[in-house]
Structure 1
Amino acid sequence: MINVPPLKPAERDRLLKLATYASVAVAVLLIALKSSVYLMSGSVSLLASLIDSLMDAAASVINLFAVRYALKPADHEHRFGHGKAEALAGLAQSAFITGSAVLVLLQGIDRLLNPRPLDSAWLGIAVMLFSIAATIGLLLIQRHVIKRTGSTAIRADSLHYRSDLLLNASIIVALLLAAYGIQRADAFFGLAIALFIGYSAIQIGRDAVQILMDRELSDEVRAEALQLARSVEGVVNVHDFRSRQSGHDWFMQMHVEIPAQTPLVQAHDLGERVRARIVERFPQTDVLIHTDPV
């Protein structure tokens, strides 16, 4: 749960589209380069990286459509907006990443049992160095976008690309060892990468499921919201506080206790003051207040 500063809708749309377009472009470029070198070298670890890039491209395309859908305003059939499309995209990414991990695992086992020398290992190393540079550039863009928007889909995509840095570095080590005659190193590194990719998939899927299941916002955010509500003059206490997240939007609802003799108009104004104070601190929040006489 990321607390983000106020951001105009047009600026948020621009940043999300920038991140998704950049992700697709980097994935497609790396697929073209890795495919060519894999056909020349036959490296399992390079195949792992190629499959990972193919999954990146598929996940990025899903992200592209999911983010565009999530940016649509609330309508008659979706009164709470379309923000959960981002969590669905994260769940789809998890499935893609898991599939790539299984495929690489099987290929690594086969190459471990049937080792063979690699060709064009140095060319593969050059491609992996370029991949690292391109990935770092993309991560810098994604980091800026996540900081400004708090997007679940972009955060999931960024997690995968961060794991790619370790993956690409390990592939360089595997290719270096293979170039000096240690053939099984390529297969061992491929197996290790597959397990690491699978672990990343579990993390992404878990976060997406929590949002789809309407998990409460973080304890820190909830505690601060309660403190803000109770700090309004005239509020006796607050109970039945609930919260959830849908894409960029947060939703909070609470029962505000006020003196029983408070006139209806004043009770309404008091509830509005509570709502305004919370929204001032968390602008992305939709707050529903119910007043209880005590």
Structure 2
Amino acid sequence: MSLPRLATTVATLTALVLAVAKVVVGFMSGSVAVIASALDSILDMVISIFNNIAVRVSESKPDHKFNYGKGKIEGLAALFEGLFISASGLFIIYEGIRKIIHHEAITEINISIYVMLFSMLATLALVLFLAYVVKKTNHLVIKSDLLHYKTDLLTNGAVLVSLIVVKLTGWYYIDFILSILIGIYIIKEASEIVKEGFEILLDVSLDFETVEKIKEIIKKEPLVLDYHCLRTRKAGNRNFVDVHLVLTPDMKLKLAHTIIENVEDKIRAIDPDKKWIINIHADPYDDSHINKLLEECE
């Protein structure tokens, strides 16, 4: 099992344990904030399961049917996750408003505090482990998981604080108000996930910094006169680069091939942990105006 898949498996099991504990205590105590946190943990588990599947599928090799691999499964998973999370956020807001209207109080406050404290410690341990995996693999899915669980750590802390306030002051409305805020926050986070999913499916380019590095590599290559039609995209753990290089018209094929290989090697060195699919076309002159007419480049 690869390290990214191990990370998503550990995240799934952690979320499962926390979800069960929070659901039991949430319904025992009547705390909407704890129930909201439980739903968030259930969603975390679902997300980690999808991430595990996405990692496994995206790591599969290209075949005769999927020539470019299956990296875009991450975009589909992100869309599903985002919509699912948005629905849960709306439910949390509804529950918070309903309990305010019906003046439902919280019971078993002590056990609610204990389970949220346990949740914070477990989430902290998971965040540290995911940070280690990201440092080792720089995997995009694990980076997303790490960011998500970091926000969970803050959410759990907020719920814990609200429970302590309720215990000390008896003002249980803070619990319901916080649950509504958590619901709004969840919907906001979900919108970011949906946006990322759309970008993957619509072939968003590589990040600005990476594209600039590619441009610098090409510009510094001594025998490359110019370049055009630079296009990039990503799918799973694969980065795709297409570009036209302008070389001397009477250059021998062997030398042109050597130059192209040199450029490819330098581009791959930008992030050795990624799989790079690079397609470089050699031109004897700048034909970008022709390509623009054919709508092949911007």
State the TM-score, normalized to the length of structure 1: 0.91
Where in structure 2 are the equivalents of 1:144-223 lying within 5 Å? 144-179=132-167, 180-223=169-212
Q: Distance in 2 between matches of 1:156 and 1:97?
A: 15
Q: Distance in 1 between matches of 2:267 and 2:195?
A: 29
The answer on 1:84 being equivalent to 2:72 is yes
- Secondary structure of 2:244's match? strand
1:288 to 259, 279, 287: 279
- For 2:217, the equivalent position in structure 1 comes to 228
- Secondary structure of 2:153's match? helix
**RMSD across aligned positions (CA):** 1.6
- Secondary structure of 1:215's match? coil
145-154 or 93-102: which moved more?
145-154
- Secondary structure of 1:281's match? coil
Where in structure 2 are the equivalents of 1:205-284 lying within 5 Å? 205-283=194-272, 284=274
- For 1:139, the equivalent position in structure 2 comes to 127
Q: Distance in 2 between matches of 1:64 and 1:273?
A: 36
Residues matched between the structures, number: 282
- For 2:290, the equivalent position in structure 1 comes to none
State the TM-score, normalized to the length of structure 2: 0.89
1:53 to 38, 41, 49: 41
Q: Distance in 1 between matches of 2:139 and 2:79?
A: 14
- For 1:66, the equivalent position in structure 2 comes to 54
- Secondary structure of 1:153's match? helix
Question: Do the aligned partners of residues 73 and 191 (structure 1) sit closer, same or farther apart at CA in structure 2, a change above 3 Å counting?
Answer: same
25-34 or 262-271: which moved more?
262-271
Q: Distance in 2 between matches of 1:198 and 1:32?
A: 22
Preserved CA contact (<8 Å) 1:163 1:197 = no
Deviation at 1:168, TM superposition (A): 1.0
Q: Distance in 2 between matches of 1:275 and 1:116?
A: 64
The answer on 1:31 being equivalent to 2:19 is yes
Question: Do the aligned partners of residues 189 and 141 (structure 1) sit closer, same or farther apart at CA in structure 2, a change above 3 Å counting?
Answer: same
Identity, % of aligned positions:
32
Q: Distance in 1 between matches of 2:141 and 2:83?
A: 14
21-30 or 81-90: which moved more?
81-90
Preserved CA contact (<8 Å) 2:27 2:35 = no
